[in-house]
Protein backbone atom coordinates (compact mmCIF):
# COMPACT_ATOMS: atom_id res chain seq x y z
CA UNK A 1 0.00 0.00 0.00
CA UNK A 2 2.85 2.37 0.92
CA UNK A 3 4.56 1.57 -2.40
CA UNK A 4 1.40 2.46 -4.36
CA UNK A 5 1.08 5.70 -2.39
CA UNK A 6 4.67 6.64 -3.24
CA UNK A 7 4.13 5.85 -6.91
CA UNK A 8 0.95 7.94 -6.98
CA UNK A 9 2.69 10.81 -5.18
CA UNK A 10 5.59 10.63 -7.64
CA UNK A 11 3.24 10.76 -10.61
CA UNK A 12 1.35 13.66 -9.06
CA UNK A 13 4.59 15.59 -8.55
CA UNK A 14 5.60 14.98 -12.17
CA UNK A 15 2.22 16.22 -13.39
CA UNK A 16 2.44 19.35 -11.22
CA UNK A 17 5.97 20.09 -12.44
CA UNK A 18 4.90 19.58 -16.08
CA UNK A 19 1.97 21.94 -15.60
CA UNK A 20 4.23 24.55 -14.01
CA UNK A 21 6.42 24.64 -17.10
CA UNK A 22 3.58 24.72 -19.63
CA UNK A 23 3.30 27.93 -21.67
CA UNK A 24 0.55 30.35 -20.73
CA UNK A 25 -1.48 29.69 -23.88
CA UNK A 26 -1.58 25.95 -23.06
CA UNK A 27 -2.98 26.74 -19.62
CA UNK A 28 -5.72 28.80 -21.26
CA UNK A 29 -6.46 26.03 -23.75
CA UNK A 30 -6.82 23.50 -20.93
CA UNK A 31 -9.04 25.86 -18.96
CA UNK A 32 -11.41 26.76 -21.79
CA UNK A 33 -11.21 23.43 -23.63
CA UNK A 34 -12.58 23.43 -27.17
CA UNK A 35 -13.36 26.70 -29.00
CA UNK A 36 -17.01 27.73 -29.08
CA UNK A 37 -19.16 30.20 -30.97
CA UNK A 38 -19.49 32.55 -27.99
CA UNK A 39 -15.76 32.80 -27.21
CA UNK A 40 -15.90 36.56 -27.59
CA UNK A 41 -16.80 36.45 -23.89
CA UNK A 42 -13.35 35.08 -22.97
CA UNK A 43 -11.22 37.44 -25.09
CA UNK A 44 -10.68 41.17 -25.29
CA UNK A 45 -12.42 42.62 -28.34
CA UNK A 46 -12.19 45.61 -30.64
CA UNK A 47 -15.39 47.14 -31.97
CA UNK A 48 -16.06 47.25 -35.70
CA UNK A 49 -18.42 50.19 -35.84
CA UNK A 50 -21.57 50.05 -37.94
CA UNK A 51 -23.10 53.00 -39.80
CA UNK A 52 -26.70 53.71 -40.75
CA UNK A 53 -28.79 50.59 -40.43
CA UNK A 54 -30.36 49.32 -43.64
CA UNK A 55 -32.82 46.55 -42.75
CA UNK A 56 -33.35 43.63 -45.09
CA UNK A 57 -36.72 43.49 -46.78
CA UNK A 58 -38.87 40.51 -45.83
CA UNK A 59 -40.43 38.60 -48.73
CA UNK A 60 -44.19 38.26 -48.96
CA UNK A 61 -43.86 34.46 -48.85
CA UNK A 62 -41.41 34.58 -45.93
CA UNK A 63 -40.92 31.17 -44.26
CA UNK A 64 -43.62 29.48 -46.32
CA UNK A 65 -41.20 27.16 -48.13
CA UNK A 66 -40.71 23.68 -46.69
CA UNK A 67 -37.38 21.90 -46.32
CA UNK A 68 -37.64 18.12 -46.69
CA UNK A 69 -37.72 16.22 -43.38
CA UNK A 70 -34.65 14.17 -44.28
CA UNK A 71 -32.69 17.32 -45.10
CA UNK A 72 -33.80 19.04 -41.90
CA UNK A 73 -32.84 16.01 -39.82
CA UNK A 74 -29.40 16.05 -41.42
CA UNK A 75 -29.11 19.76 -40.62
CA UNK A 76 -30.11 19.19 -37.01
CA UNK A 77 -27.41 16.55 -36.56
CA UNK A 78 -24.81 19.34 -36.84
CA UNK A 79 -26.36 21.42 -34.03
CA UNK A 80 -27.30 24.62 -35.87
CA UNK A 81 -28.20 27.89 -34.18
CA UNK A 82 -29.22 29.87 -37.27
CA UNK A 83 -30.07 29.27 -40.93
CA UNK A 84 -30.91 32.17 -43.25
CA UNK A 85 -31.71 32.49 -46.95
CA UNK A 86 -31.90 35.84 -48.74
CA UNK A 87 -32.93 36.12 -52.39
CA UNK A 88 -33.17 39.29 -54.46
CA UNK A 89 -32.29 41.23 -51.33
CA UNK A 90 -35.25 39.86 -49.35
CA UNK A 91 -35.35 37.37 -46.50
CA UNK A 92 -37.29 34.35 -47.69
CA UNK A 93 -36.38 31.84 -44.97
CA UNK A 94 -34.84 31.89 -41.52
CA UNK A 95 -34.84 29.58 -38.55
CA UNK A 96 -33.17 29.66 -35.13
CA UNK A 97 -32.38 27.14 -32.41
CA UNK A 98 -31.14 27.14 -28.79
CA UNK A 99 -32.59 30.56 -28.03
CA UNK A 100 -30.60 32.33 -30.73
CA UNK A 101 -32.26 35.07 -32.76
CA UNK A 102 -31.49 37.63 -35.45
CA UNK A 103 -29.45 39.71 -32.99
CA UNK A 104 -27.38 36.93 -31.40
CA UNK A 105 -23.62 37.16 -31.88
CA UNK A 106 -21.61 34.20 -33.13
CA UNK A 107 -17.92 33.69 -33.80
CA UNK A 108 -17.08 33.46 -37.49
CA UNK A 109 -13.95 31.39 -36.90
CA UNK A 110 -12.11 31.04 -40.22
CA UNK A 111 -14.90 32.68 -42.20
CA UNK A 112 -13.10 35.86 -41.08
CA UNK A 113 -10.31 34.98 -43.51
CA UNK A 114 -12.59 35.96 -46.38
CA UNK A 115 -13.07 39.39 -44.78
CA UNK A 116 -9.30 39.86 -44.64
CA UNK A 117 -9.17 38.87 -48.30
CA UNK A 118 -11.58 41.72 -49.07
CA UNK A 119 -9.52 44.15 -46.99
CA UNK A 120 -6.50 43.42 -49.17
CA UNK A 121 -8.56 44.37 -52.21
CA UNK A 122 -9.66 47.59 -50.51
CA UNK A 123 -6.06 48.46 -49.64
CA UNK A 124 -5.10 47.82 -53.25
CA UNK A 125 -7.89 50.12 -54.46
CA UNK A 126 -6.81 52.81 -52.00
CA UNK A 127 -3.18 52.67 -53.12
CA UNK A 128 -1.81 51.43 -49.80
CA UNK A 129 -0.63 48.35 -51.70
CA UNK A 130 1.04 48.71 -55.10
CA UNK A 131 0.20 45.24 -56.43
CA UNK A 132 -0.45 41.73 -55.20
CA UNK A 133 3.08 40.83 -56.30
CA UNK A 134 4.51 43.28 -53.78
CA UNK A 135 6.65 41.62 -51.14
CA UNK A 136 5.51 41.32 -47.54
CA UNK A 137 8.94 42.58 -46.48
CA UNK A 138 7.96 46.06 -47.72
CA UNK A 139 5.57 46.22 -44.76
CA UNK A 140 6.94 43.84 -42.11
CA UNK A 141 10.69 44.04 -41.29
CA UNK A 142 10.82 40.46 -39.98
CA UNK A 143 10.20 39.26 -43.56
CA UNK A 144 13.48 40.72 -44.82
CA UNK A 145 15.52 37.61 -43.96
CA UNK A 146 15.71 33.81 -43.92
CA UNK A 147 14.00 33.38 -47.29
CA UNK A 148 10.87 35.22 -46.16
CA UNK A 149 11.84 38.15 -48.39
CA UNK A 150 10.49 36.10 -51.33
CA UNK A 151 6.95 35.91 -49.96
CA UNK A 152 4.43 38.10 -51.81
CA UNK A 153 0.98 39.33 -50.86
CA UNK A 154 -0.53 36.98 -53.44
CA UNK A 155 1.29 34.03 -51.86
CA UNK A 156 -0.46 34.81 -48.58
CA UNK A 157 -3.83 35.30 -50.24
CA UNK A 158 -3.67 31.92 -51.95
CA UNK A 159 -2.26 30.02 -48.94
CA UNK A 160 1.00 29.31 -50.77
CA UNK A 161 3.41 31.32 -48.61
CA UNK A 162 5.76 28.42 -47.85
CA UNK A 163 5.84 29.47 -44.19
CA UNK A 164 6.43 26.73 -41.63
CA UNK A 165 3.12 25.97 -39.97
CA UNK A 166 1.08 23.03 -38.70
CA UNK A 167 -2.67 23.57 -39.11
CA UNK A 168 -3.59 21.05 -36.42
CA UNK A 169 -6.68 21.59 -34.29
CA UNK A 170 -6.37 18.57 -32.00
CA UNK A 171 -2.94 19.11 -30.44
CA UNK A 172 -2.49 21.19 -27.30
CA UNK A 173 0.94 22.30 -28.49
CA UNK A 174 0.22 23.02 -32.16
CA UNK A 175 0.79 26.58 -33.42
CA UNK A 176 -2.92 26.73 -34.31
CA UNK A 177 -3.84 26.17 -30.67
CA UNK A 178 -1.17 28.65 -29.61
CA UNK A 179 -2.32 31.44 -31.92
CA UNK A 180 -5.91 31.08 -30.66
CA UNK A 181 -4.98 31.41 -26.99
CA UNK A 182 -1.73 33.40 -27.09
CA UNK A 183 -1.51 36.94 -25.78
CA UNK A 184 1.23 37.87 -28.29
CA UNK A 185 0.43 37.09 -31.92
CA UNK A 186 3.05 39.53 -33.19
CA UNK A 187 5.77 37.54 -31.45
CA UNK A 188 4.61 34.39 -33.25
CA UNK A 189 4.74 36.17 -36.61
CA UNK A 190 8.19 37.59 -35.83
CA UNK A 191 9.61 34.10 -35.27
CA UNK A 192 8.14 32.48 -38.39
CA UNK A 193 10.44 30.34 -40.55
CA UNK A 194 10.19 29.08 -44.12
CA UNK A 195 9.60 25.43 -44.99
CA UNK A 196 9.41 25.60 -48.80
CA UNK A 197 9.51 27.87 -51.82
CA UNK A 198 6.52 30.24 -51.91
CA UNK A 199 4.00 30.21 -54.74
CA UNK A 200 4.21 26.47 -55.46
CA UNK A 201 2.05 24.47 -53.04
CA UNK A 202 -1.34 25.34 -51.60
CA UNK A 203 -1.36 24.50 -47.90
CA UNK A 204 -4.05 25.95 -45.65
CA UNK A 205 -2.32 28.10 -43.03
CA UNK A 206 -4.13 30.37 -40.59
CA UNK A 207 -0.88 32.27 -40.13
CA UNK A 208 -1.00 33.47 -43.76
CA UNK A 209 -4.18 35.42 -42.97
CA UNK A 210 -2.73 36.82 -39.77
CA UNK A 211 0.32 38.09 -41.64
CA UNK A 212 -2.01 39.72 -44.19
CA UNK A 213 -3.79 41.54 -41.37
CA UNK A 214 -0.54 42.82 -39.92
CA UNK A 215 0.50 43.94 -43.39
CA UNK A 216 -2.79 45.82 -43.85
CA UNK A 217 -2.32 47.57 -40.51
CA UNK A 218 1.21 48.57 -41.45
CA UNK A 219 0.08 49.81 -44.87
CA UNK A 220 -3.00 51.76 -43.74
CA UNK A 221 -1.98 52.91 -40.26
CA UNK A 222 -5.31 51.58 -39.00
CA UNK A 223 -6.28 48.47 -37.10
CA UNK A 224 -8.09 45.99 -39.29
CA UNK A 225 -11.23 46.61 -37.22
CA UNK A 226 -11.04 50.31 -38.05
CA UNK A 227 -10.34 49.64 -41.73
CA UNK A 228 -13.17 47.08 -41.93
CA UNK A 229 -15.51 49.65 -40.41
CA UNK A 230 -14.48 52.46 -42.74
CA UNK A 231 -14.43 50.43 -45.96
CA UNK A 232 -17.32 48.04 -45.42
CA UNK A 233 -19.21 47.77 -42.14
CA UNK A 234 -20.40 51.39 -42.08
CA UNK A 235 -21.43 51.15 -45.73
CA UNK A 236 -23.28 47.84 -46.01
CA UNK A 237 -26.06 48.62 -43.58
CA UNK A 238 -25.08 46.40 -40.65
CA UNK A 239 -27.54 46.58 -37.79
CA UNK A 240 -25.00 46.14 -35.01
CA UNK A 241 -21.37 46.89 -34.30
CA UNK A 242 -19.30 43.73 -34.72
CA UNK A 243 -16.59 42.51 -32.37
CA UNK A 244 -13.18 41.26 -33.44
CA UNK A 245 -11.36 39.25 -30.75
CA UNK A 246 -7.86 40.36 -29.72
CA UNK A 247 -4.82 38.56 -28.34
CA UNK A 248 -4.70 40.99 -25.39
CA UNK A 249 -6.23 44.29 -24.31
CA UNK A 250 -5.75 46.85 -27.12
CA UNK A 251 -3.75 44.20 -28.94
CA UNK A 252 -3.80 42.49 -32.34
CA UNK A 253 -6.94 41.07 -33.87
CA UNK A 254 -7.19 37.32 -34.26
CA UNK A 255 -7.67 38.14 -37.91
CA UNK A 256 -7.65 34.57 -39.17
CA UNK A 257 -10.78 34.00 -37.10
CA UNK A 258 -13.04 35.55 -34.52
CA UNK A 259 -15.16 38.19 -36.25
CA UNK A 260 -18.37 38.20 -34.22
CA UNK A 261 -21.74 39.32 -35.53
CA UNK A 262 -25.29 38.04 -36.13
CA UNK A 263 -26.64 35.92 -38.95
CA UNK A 264 -28.38 38.74 -40.85
CA UNK A 265 -25.28 40.92 -40.77
CA UNK A 266 -23.05 38.02 -41.83
CA UNK A 267 -25.25 37.79 -44.93
CA UNK A 268 -24.13 41.25 -46.02
CA UNK A 269 -20.70 39.87 -46.98
CA UNK A 270 -22.36 37.44 -49.37
CA UNK A 271 -24.60 40.17 -50.75
CA UNK A 272 -21.54 42.33 -51.43
CA UNK A 273 -20.18 39.50 -53.60
CA UNK A 274 -23.49 39.25 -55.48
CA UNK A 275 -23.43 43.03 -55.98
CA UNK A 276 -19.95 42.83 -57.56
CA UNK A 277 -18.57 45.05 -54.82
CA UNK A 278 -21.30 47.70 -54.94
CA UNK A 279 -23.68 48.81 -52.21
CA UNK A 280 -26.41 51.36 -52.89
CA UNK A 281 -24.58 52.40 -56.04
CA UNK A 282 -21.24 52.91 -54.28
CA UNK A 283 -18.32 50.75 -55.43
CA UNK A 284 -16.76 49.62 -52.15
CA UNK A 285 -14.22 47.28 -53.72
CA UNK A 286 -13.22 46.83 -57.34
CA UNK A 287 -15.20 44.32 -59.36
CA UNK A 288 -12.01 43.06 -60.99
CA UNK A 289 -10.44 42.18 -57.63
CA UNK A 290 -13.62 40.44 -56.45
CA UNK A 291 -13.70 38.34 -59.58
CA UNK A 292 -10.12 37.21 -58.96
CA UNK A 293 -10.74 36.67 -55.25
CA UNK A 294 -13.68 34.36 -55.83
CA UNK A 295 -12.10 32.39 -58.69
CA UNK A 296 -9.85 29.37 -58.09
CA UNK A 297 -6.07 29.65 -58.39
CA UNK A 298 -5.57 26.55 -60.49
CA UNK A 299 -1.87 27.25 -61.04
CA UNK A 300 -1.26 25.90 -57.53
CA UNK A 301 -0.99 22.22 -56.57
CA UNK A 302 -2.28 20.81 -53.29
CA UNK A 303 -0.96 17.93 -51.17
CA UNK A 304 -2.91 15.40 -53.25
CA UNK A 305 -1.24 16.61 -56.44
CA UNK A 306 -4.42 18.23 -57.70
CA UNK A 307 -4.76 21.67 -59.22
CA UNK A 308 -6.51 23.93 -56.72
CA UNK A 309 -9.95 24.53 -58.20
CA UNK A 310 -11.59 25.29 -54.84
CA UNK A 311 -9.76 28.31 -53.34
CA UNK A 312 -9.22 31.92 -54.38
CA UNK A 313 -8.04 34.87 -52.29
CA UNK A 314 -9.15 33.60 -48.86
CA UNK A 315 -12.49 32.54 -50.35
CA UNK A 316 -13.54 28.93 -50.90
CA UNK A 317 -15.30 27.89 -54.10
CA UNK A 318 -17.64 24.92 -54.52
CA UNK A 319 -19.25 23.57 -57.66
CA UNK A 320 -22.76 22.46 -56.78
CA UNK A 321 -25.11 21.15 -59.47
CA UNK A 322 -23.47 23.32 -62.11
CA UNK A 323 -23.29 26.41 -59.89
CA UNK A 324 -19.90 27.87 -58.98
CA UNK A 325 -20.46 29.22 -55.49
CA UNK A 326 -17.91 31.28 -53.51
CA UNK A 327 -18.26 30.91 -49.78
CA UNK A 328 -16.87 31.74 -46.36
CA UNK A 329 -16.06 28.84 -44.05
CA UNK A 330 -15.43 28.40 -40.32
CA UNK A 331 -14.35 25.39 -38.30
CA UNK A 332 -17.65 24.78 -36.48
CA UNK A 333 -19.76 25.05 -39.62
CA UNK A 334 -19.93 28.81 -40.09
CA UNK A 335 -20.84 29.36 -43.74
CA UNK A 336 -21.83 32.27 -45.97
CA UNK A 337 -22.65 31.15 -49.53
CA UNK A 338 -23.12 33.57 -52.43
CA UNK A 339 -25.10 31.94 -55.27
CA UNK A 340 -24.97 34.29 -58.28
CA UNK A 341 -27.36 32.40 -60.58
CA UNK A 342 -30.04 32.50 -57.87
CA UNK A 343 -29.11 36.00 -56.65
CA UNK A 344 -29.13 34.44 -53.20
CA UNK A 345 -27.14 34.39 -49.97
CA UNK A 346 -27.26 31.46 -47.56
CA UNK A 347 -25.87 31.65 -44.02
CA UNK A 348 -25.53 28.82 -41.54
CA UNK A 349 -24.18 29.18 -37.99
CA UNK A 350 -23.82 26.43 -35.41
CA UNK A 351 -21.70 24.21 -33.21
CA UNK A 352 -20.55 21.37 -35.48
CA UNK A 353 -19.49 20.48 -38.97
CA UNK A 354 -18.93 17.12 -40.63
CA UNK A 355 -15.62 15.33 -40.09
CA UNK A 356 -15.98 13.82 -43.56
CA UNK A 357 -14.55 15.47 -46.64
CA UNK A 358 -15.94 15.22 -50.15
CA UNK A 359 -12.93 16.42 -52.08
CA UNK A 360 -11.92 19.68 -50.37
CA UNK A 361 -15.42 20.34 -49.01
CA UNK A 362 -17.02 19.24 -45.76
CA UNK A 363 -19.94 16.86 -46.21
CA UNK A 364 -22.34 19.09 -44.26
CA UNK A 365 -21.97 21.86 -46.85
CA UNK A 366 -24.06 19.82 -49.28
CA UNK A 367 -26.82 19.48 -46.68
CA UNK A 368 -27.17 23.27 -46.38
CA UNK A 369 -27.03 23.77 -50.14
CA UNK A 370 -29.63 21.03 -50.62
CA UNK A 371 -31.86 22.82 -48.11
CA UNK A 372 -31.31 26.17 -49.78
CA UNK A 373 -32.16 24.91 -53.24
CA UNK A 374 -35.35 23.37 -51.90
CA UNK A 375 -36.36 26.86 -50.80
CA UNK A 376 -34.99 29.00 -53.64
CA UNK A 377 -37.15 29.78 -56.63
Structure-derived torsion over alpha carbons of residues 292, 298, 302, 305, reported in degrees to the nearest 10? 180
Mean pLDDT by 10 residues, the chain (377 residues): 48 45 73 88 98 98 97 98 98 98 98 98 98 98 96 98 89 86 95 96 97 98 98 98 98 98 98 98 97 94 92 97 97 97 98 94 97 96
Q: Write down the pLDDT at residue 361.
A: 94
Q: Write down the pLDDT at residue 124.
A: 98
Which residue, 331, 360, 297, is CA-closest to 155? 297
CA 365 to chain centre: 15
Q: Write down the pLDDT at residue 168.
A: 80
Q: Write down the pLDDT at residue 13.
A: 46
Q: 348 Cβ partners below 8 Å, 6+ apart?
A: 80, 82, 83, 84, 333, 334, 335, 368
Q: 243-270 as b/e, with b when 16 or more CB fall inside 10 Å?
A: bbbbbeeebbbbbbbbbbbbbbbbbbbb
Q: By the 8 A CB rule, do 291 and 361 touch?
A: no
CA distances to 195, 306, 329, 374 from 69, rounded to whole Å, are: 48, 36, 25, 11
Q: Write down the pLDDT at residue 377.
A: 86
Which residue, 50, 205, 198, 217, is CA-closest to 119? 217
DSSP string, 96-130: E-TT--TT--EE-GGGHHHHHHHHHHHHHHTTSSS
Q: CA 221, 210, 318: angle at the middle one, nearest 5?
A: 120
Nearest-angstrom CA–CA distance, 222 and 321: 42
For residue 336, report the phi and psi dihedrals to the nearest 5 degrees.
-130, 110
Nearest-angstrom CA–CA distance, 168 and 2: 42
Amino acid sequence: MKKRTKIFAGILILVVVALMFMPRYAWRALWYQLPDIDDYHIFYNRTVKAGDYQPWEVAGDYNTAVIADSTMQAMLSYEPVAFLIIQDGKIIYEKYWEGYNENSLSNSFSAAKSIVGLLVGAALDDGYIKSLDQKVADFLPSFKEDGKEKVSIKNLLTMSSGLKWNESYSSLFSPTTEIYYTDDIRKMVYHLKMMEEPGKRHYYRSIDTEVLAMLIQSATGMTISEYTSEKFWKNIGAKHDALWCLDHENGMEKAYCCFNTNVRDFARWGQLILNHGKWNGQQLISEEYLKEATSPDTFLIDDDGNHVDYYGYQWWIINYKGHQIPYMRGILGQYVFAIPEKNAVVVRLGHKRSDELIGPNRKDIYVYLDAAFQVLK
